[in-house]
Structure 1
């Protein structure tokens, strides 16, 4: 039977219900205007017939696609903002160029990497999840070109200077990222329930890849965390910051007091990888200890970080510390 309008007892909003193309349909029009409600119900009925005749992809909206994506247990990082942008846009009408325009609109002042990571990747993931269910075609979007920059990693000397010029919890936060490779978001999310001081471990929830890892706490880091003034309630954040944005201002102030290079919190993660690689730890172990899922990404980002061009001396068996005179060896 076609969709019929009705009001719930004591309510003023029109709802609809009925059977269309063999499917039981019900919902709210979210309006008190009966004429508008009739039009909304008619449009819903039309969509159901289109879906029945042309397949589910013909009426699939991004909102519906996102619900299915969430229900599958996929990562929802950056999803809310793009859901608000696309809303009930038909997936069939979302093209690669439309996604790139959305990225520019949502992040007008951001760089290419941010637009790729926070708009293109999640939008494509939602749609391609539905494609795997055979509800719609797959979407391919060409990424914005990212200009690679050599990133300056934090060093142990830099970290020690930072710690000496910051509060106990801010200094411990810096040392934690440097000592475990944790991202800033992962570090501020750490609670006392995640820390076992006796076992010298911390459970890090890796939001970027949707996994967890148990990190070892070296002695200096263990002492720094143990010395944070706190009641240590299980749900309390260890480093006393509720969000990564709360760190920015106090971080920059500590850097200024220390008179050291202005590095971001993420430079500590870079420092973890660089220091481990320079110490001769194999790349696979570094990736595992620091929570990199893709070893190739680790190599691409950090393999160049040694900086000292004289490292190529080892090819001829020359020590790194040996000065180069520029003169030919005597015969």
Structure 2
């Protein structure tokens, strides 16, 4: 039976049964002709969904709502959602997603295009595919030239921290030690509040925004001492390191490096140093991943394992130590 419209409180509403489904709702208009068009569109979509499956009328907005409700990371979603809105998911192609990335971030690197546009759009659609609402989608990533990153060593961290203390920046020294000791990302560390820290228990709760999980990190003695030396009232909601975001660390970090006369490494190199140091100390990749908050051991081995540039390491096969110093 076709949908009928009825006026209530000066607004037209539709109701009726289409393809065995009872439908009712508001047209959000007081104009009868517009209301009739709205009701006809609702009826047409209902028939299309009945004949072609739920994916035929699935919009990106609907898929995104389900993705959010499932508790997945909302990082970078807003701009992608605003771009697609009520676009039907079956009409979205991999090429269209690449074009979206270029339009949203025209002056950014390929790595940013992949991370902030392609990944979230693909994740939303493929989550809908897991619910059997549509077909999965594959999107070709923009080519990114892999950079050789230098992990921070304990010697570098100590030199940086000493200079930060000398500059009257105990919170920056503690930040460096904390990232190196826990493997925390810069943004995760800056979001740490005193409510997340238990100095006597030697633990800190880190909210991992990238994978939308929380983990309890162990705090080593040098890290505890650095945290204890930060001037603070220890208010539960107060940021431990006093930075509003990871981005606000950049310039002051570079200034300390310049005055210390050490290699220019980014804050992320401390997290890099955590993984590389643990691996070189003989811990397996799965343990390193769990301790530092990586999604899996494969990621650790792919991006954080570095071969020692020392040909004499093979002496270990005969029970003797390397005769060279690793780089």
Same fold, judged at TM 0.5 (above): yes
Q: How does 1:294-313 map to 2 (within 5 A)?
A: 294-304=296-306, 306=308, 308-310=309-311, 312-313=313-314
Q: How does 1:236-255 map to 2 (within 5 A)?
A: 236-255=238-257
Match of 2:23 in 1: 24
Q: Match of 2:158, SS?
A: helix
Structure 1 segments unaligned to the other structure (5+ residues): 324-331
Match of 1:123 among 114, 121, 124: 121
Structure 2 segments unaligned to the other structure (5+ residues): none
Q: Match of 1:285, SS?
A: helix
Q: How much does 1:4 deviate?
A: 3.2
Q: CA–CA distance in 1 between the matches of 2:77 and 2:201?
A: 36
8 Å CA contact 1:78–1:118 kept in 2: the answer is: yes
Match of 1:76 among 63, 68, 74: 74
The TM-score with structure 2 as length reference comes to: 0.87
Match of 1:327 in 2: none
8 Å CA contact 1:20–1:49 kept in 2: the answer is: no
Match of 1:329 in 2: none
Q: How much does 1:20 deviate?
A: 5.0
Q: CA–CA distance in 2 between the matches of 1:165 and 1:34?
A: 74
Q: How does 1:142-221 map to 2 (within 5 A)?
A: 142-166=140-164, 167-221=169-223
The TM-score with structure 1 as length reference comes to: 0.86
Aligned length: 317
Worse overlay, 248-257 or 61-70: 248-257
Q: CA–CA distance in 1 between the matches of 2:36 and 2:160?
A: 65
8 Å CA contact 1:150–1:305 kept in 2: the answer is: no
Q: How does 1:59-70 map to 2 (within 5 A)?
A: 59-70=57-68
Match of 1:281 in 2: 283
* Cα RMSD after superposing both structures: 2.5
Match of 2:315 in 1: 314
Q: Write the deviation string for residues 14-41 of structure 1: whole angstroms up to 9, x where unpaired.
A: 5644235133332464x78776565445
8 Å CA contact 1:200–1:216 kept in 2: the answer is: yes
8 Å CA contact 2:310–2:324 kept in 1: the answer is: no
Q: How much does 1:283 deviate?
A: 2.4
Q: CA–CA distance in 2 between the matches of 1:95 and 1:255?
A: 46
Q: CA–CA distance in 2 between the matches of 1:51 and 1:124?
A: 23
Cα distance change of structure 1 residues 87 and 305 upon mapping to structure 2, 3 Å threshold: farther
Q: Match of 1:165, SS?
A: helix
Q: How much does 1:76 deviate?
A: 2.1
8 Å CA contact 2:183–2:272 kept in 1: the answer is: yes
Q: Write the deviation string for residues 192-229 of structure 1: whole angstroms up to 9, x where unpaired.
A: 11110101111112222222221111111001111111
